[in-house]
Amino acid sequence: MRLSQTAYAKINLALHVRKAREDGYHELETLFAFVDAGDRLTARAAEQDRLTTVGEFATALDNPFDNIVMQALSALLRPDGLDVTLEKNLPVAAGLGGGSADAGAIFRMVREAYGLPDDWRERAAKLGADVPACVDSDMHIGLGAGEQRREVVNDMAGTPVLLVNPRKPVPTGPVFKAWDGKDRGPLPEGSAREIASNGRNDLRDPAIAVCPEIGEILAALGDTDPFMREMSGSGATCFALYETTKNRDRAAQTLAESNSGWWQMKGQLR
């Protein structure tokens, strides 16, 4: 048995931070979208669970037993162990839900090989509020701390997207600390494209205060003629959406030539 899954990069096409909750989190309203690229996981049956991490950002995950992939495996009972290789292509602490996407890929692997228990969403949510969303990896509105979902008309599937990161991790805590705490209102109504076009990311400015390179990336993306550009999550990855693949690829080449130190990934929205 050999299994393989892409851990699809998750981006927030809009992210509205609402009121604080008693548990310390904030109510969020976000439009989740997933790119058809990300980390890559392969697995085969083994006597016990094991994780090997390779790829550009593998060294950022120095403790395999603390990795969310191992936690996801422990959350799901199976007749066999899984020997998993994680190709870590996404930067860490980058606003792409990389760890949650990896866990989501594990859940899909187990579903393919053995099936999932009826309470899989509850098990996934214990690993992180957005892990259930990453199991589904489909565009939807996320509510609560990101664990609740509402359907949306996906009129953006296939849209060319370029992801760019300054290769600097930006933890969520300092960004929320820099946020002014103002509730600027709910997500707009409409289809995914309408919400993305009329929404906002409330964490963009505080993230730029923590990592000024985010502002530089957004400015550079704005010069490549996208129909939309924004920061994802709490940063530092930014994305730009284009009308054609040709425009996206031209933008990727331009940025690679002018800012060779920036990480980038091309794909399409799912």
Helix (H, G, I), strand (E, B) or coil at 66: helix
What residues make up the domain containing 103? Answer: 2-150
Q: Which of 163, 266, 166 is nearest to 216 (CA)?
A: 166
Please say which residue of 150, 178, 199 terminates a domain: 150
Domain count, the chain: 2
Q: pLDDT averaged over the chain?
A: 95
Residue range 117-123: mean pLDDT, rounded: 97
Say which CATH number the domain at 82 has.
3.30.230.10
How far, in whole angstroms, is CA 98 from its chain's centroid? 5
> Does 57 share its domain with 28?
yes
Which token pair is 22?
Answer: 């008693």
**Domain boundary residue, one of 131, 150, 169:** 150
**Helices 245-258 and 213-222 meet at what angle, rounded to 10?**
130
Structure confidence at residue 123 as a pLDDT band (50, 70, 90)? very high
Q: Are 159 and 241 in contact (CB under 8 A)?
A: yes
In this structure, the answer to whether residues 24 and 135 fall within a common structural domain is yes
Residue 149 has pLDDT above 80, yes or no: yes
User: What is the crossing angle of helices 120-127 and 98-113, to 10°?
Assistant: 150
**Region 203-226: what's the mean pLDDT?**
98
- Residue 65 clears pLDDT 70, i.e. is over it: no
Q: Which residue has the tokens 């098990």?
A: 123
**Residues tagged active-site:** 10, 130
- Region 173-189: mean pLDDT is 94
Please give the pLDDT value at position 146: 78
